[in-house]
Amino acid sequence: MKNEREKTVIKTSIISIISNIVLAGFKAFVGLLASSIAVISDAVNNLSDALSSIITIVGTKLAGKAPDKKHPYGYGRIEYMTSFLVSAIVLYAGITSLIESFKKIIKPENPDYTLTTIIIIVSGIIVKFILGIYVKNKGYKVNSDSLVASGSDAFNDAILSISVLASAIIYMLFKLNIEAYVGIVLSVVIIKSGIELIKESIDNILGMRVESDLAKNIKREVTKEKEVAGAFDLILNNYGPDNYLGSVHIEVSDTLSVSDVDRISRNITKNVQKKYGVILHTIGIYSVNTKDKNIMKIQKDIQNLVFSHEGILQMHGFYIDEKEKNISFDIIIDFKIKNREEVYSQIYDEVKEKYPDYNINITLDIDVSD
């Protein structure tokens, strides 16, 4: 599966490289003949796309290296770095185009368009749209941010070429040179796209919240085990596209034996990996009181107290140890609440005041997954 993904990325990138080099050659030739800065800039942009695809190939090959002692989780995150580089090239192309457009406003030059020029530009537009669709679809299919970025760049190039075409036709019909002004508008569009792609790459490098559907599906799979009362605190660490290692907490009855818990945790690990390709290397256990109705009443009272505060998303892992006189549970407070520590302290004080004979252990969990 991993080898197939690598082959797809490399094959798609090679097709993109060949297409862009051929387009760059034709456009550079036509641009020089027509004395059109817009067409020449378009040719340079195609060369930058070819460079982006080369970077994607190098990144994919490096990311595919086997884990070693120094990097036991593999090299998958290199793809996010190459995606960042490709995005930076998109941004650079937009800025360069903007600068050249301003230069043309200050020192305008009248181009010399011909029918051959128009045919080359139209051909480039068609190729770029087809290439953009192909590369982007392949990127989504194999979950490659670099390919998606390259596909988006191809669409931007097609739009840029449409503006060049429109400028050429207007000049041929009315002798009105608007090339530079159209270039400014499109340069801004490309710059905006580059910034958005860079932001997405940085988000992946920093680590993002677990995708909602994936988190919910995994928790649903975990709770399919009949002894599991709930699944919480799902944490997934991303070590490259489709390469997740994580942990989860489960609630089980306090009547289960160690062998029961061992069987349940092994089943969960096996089923989640088989169905979603996610390795849950740690399964934490919350014991649930099931034998004392008075404890259940205390739990209900504390639950009402906790949720009376603004921003409480979840309370779980509740357990009372009567022998040691301990009350333990976890709470999750919304990131939107700026004074989360203050809310936590208020809850702690209120629970302690209501149950002074108990040791109160409240864990402030982080809202990491849905």
Average pLDDT in the 97-114 region? 80
Is 23:128 a contact under the CB 8 Å cutoff? yes
Beta strand 359-365 pairing with 326-333: parallel
- The span from the CA of 27 to the CA of 127, in Å, is 13
- The span from the CA of 163 to the CA of 186, in Å, is 8
Q: Does residue 273 have a pLDDT over 90?
A: yes
pTM of the model: 0.74
Q: For position 85, what pLDDT does the model report? A: 87
Confidence of residue 123 (pLDDT cuts 50, 70, 90): confident
Q: For position 37, what pLDDT does the model report? A: 66
Radius of gyration of the chain from its Cα atoms, rounded to whole angstroms: 29
Nearest to 315 by CA among 298, 327, 331: 331
Confidence of residue 38 (pLDDT cuts 50, 70, 90): low
- The span from the CA of 158 to the CA of 189, in Å, is 12
3-state secondary structure 287-346: EECCCCHHHHHHHHHHHHHHHCCCCEEEEEEEEEECCCCEEEEEEEECCCCCCHHHHHHH
Q: How far lies 369's CA from each of 142, 181, 217, 219, 234, in Å?
A: 24, 46, 11, 10, 6
Element (H, E) at 130: helix 115-142
Q: Does residue 2 have a pLDDT over 70?
A: no
What is the percentage of the chain residues whose pLDDT exceeds 90?
A: 43
Kindly provide the residue ranges of all beta strands, DSSP E only, lying in 164-269, ordered along the sequence: 228-238, 244-253
Confidence of residue 60 (pLDDT cuts 50, 70, 90): confident
Q: Token pair of 144, please?
A: 């490659």
Confidence of residue 24 (pLDDT cuts 50, 70, 90): confident
Domains defined along the chain, listed by start: 2-206 (1.20.1510.10), 212-365 (3.30.70.1350)
Q: For position 226, what pLDDT does the model report? A: 94
Angle in degrees, 0-180, between the axes of helices 78-106 and 37-63, rounded to the nearest 10: 170
**Range name among 160-169, 253-262, 349-358 with the lowest pLDDT average:** 160-169
Q: Token pair of 8, please?
A: 């797809």
Is 156:193 a contact under the CB 8 Å cutoff? yes
Greatest C-alpha distance within the chain: 93
Q: Report DSSP letters for 30-96, one per residue.
A: HHHHHT-HHHHHHHHHHHHHHHHHHHHHHHHHHHTSPP-SS-TT-STTHHHHHHHHHHHHHHHHHHH
**Range name among 142-156, 232-246, 261-275, 306-320 with the lowest pLDDT average:** 142-156
Confidence of residue 134 (pLDDT cuts 50, 70, 90): very high
Average pLDDT in the 271-289 region? 94
- Residues 6 or more apart whose CB falls under 8 angstroms from that of 253 comprise 227, 229, 287, 288, 290
End-to-end CA distance of the chain: 28
Burial class (CB in 10 A: 0-12, 13-18, 19+), 193: buried
Q: Greater confidence, 333 or 179?
A: 333
Q: For position 284, what pLDDT does the model report? A: 96
- The span from the CA of 273 to the CA of 277, in Å, is 4
Average pLDDT, the chain: 88
The answer to whether the Cα torsion of 3, 63, 192, 212 is positive or negative is positive
- The span from the CA of 130 to the CA of 154, in Å, is 9
Q: Does residue 48 have a pLDDT over 80?
A: no
- The span from the CA of 59 to the CA of 45, in Å, is 21
